Amino acid sequence: MIESLHGMLWGDILLENLMITIRKATKIDAQACWDIRNAAINKGCTGFYDAGDLLIWTAGELTEQFRRIVEAHFYVAEISDNALQVKTVVGTVMLDEPYAQLEALFVSPDAMGLGVGKALLKFIETMAFNQGIAQLRLESTLNAVDFYRHCGFGGEGLEEESIYCSPRGIALECMVMYKNLERPSAC
């Protein structure tokens, strides 16, 4: 469910005893976002990309630039365990509005398969649709192509092979994928 609360978008999805809440990220979330990014890349991309490239892609520490991007543009998914009253950031996403592009959709390996990625994707699709974006674009790693296809991205005329040129100097095969947004829908 997506609802407006004091001008901000929030999403809540209940999974048995776990509640997924999507909220605007803060600067304090930057380290968790960095750690989730690296863990998701290392878990999901192993076997699809060269191990040396993965080391380069995930090397280094959290930068001030990344911290600023998180604070300005990221949304995070938190899982709340109602029994333990604990909240844990388990996913990230951002919408690059000028380019109508979904970016930084990462899910912690511990939360993969719980619907976090689908919830984040639905959240961003709804946000994009509400901002008048008719088509959303993303650059998928090879391991995530099937996930995005399942969620309505790509298909005939809506995907193309490409190369992602990382600022760290590596070139990675990827799939540019599009989805026409008509109205918010679940994947």
Backbone torsions φ then ψ of 15, nearest 5 degrees: -125, 95
Model confidence at 2: pLDDT above 60: no
Model confidence at 33: pLDDT above 90: yes
Over range 163-167, report the average pLDDT: 91
Sheet with 86-96, edge to edge strand ranges: 2-5, 8-15, 18-24, 74-81, 86-96, 101-107, 135-141, 171-180, 159-165
pTM of this structure: 0.86
Domains and CATH numbers, the chain: 2-132 (3.40.630.30)
3-state class of 184 per DSSP? coil
Check residue 16 and give its pLDDT.
55
Asked whether the beta carbons of 77 and 20 are under 8 A apart, the reply is: yes
pLDDT in tens, 115-164: 999 999 999 999 999 999 999 999 999 999 999 999 999 988 899 999 99
CA-to-CA distance for 107 and 91, rounded, in angstroms? 4
Q: To 5 degrees, how large is the angle CA 93–CA 9–CA 140?
A: 20
CA-to-CA distance for 22 and 176, rounded, in angstroms? 25
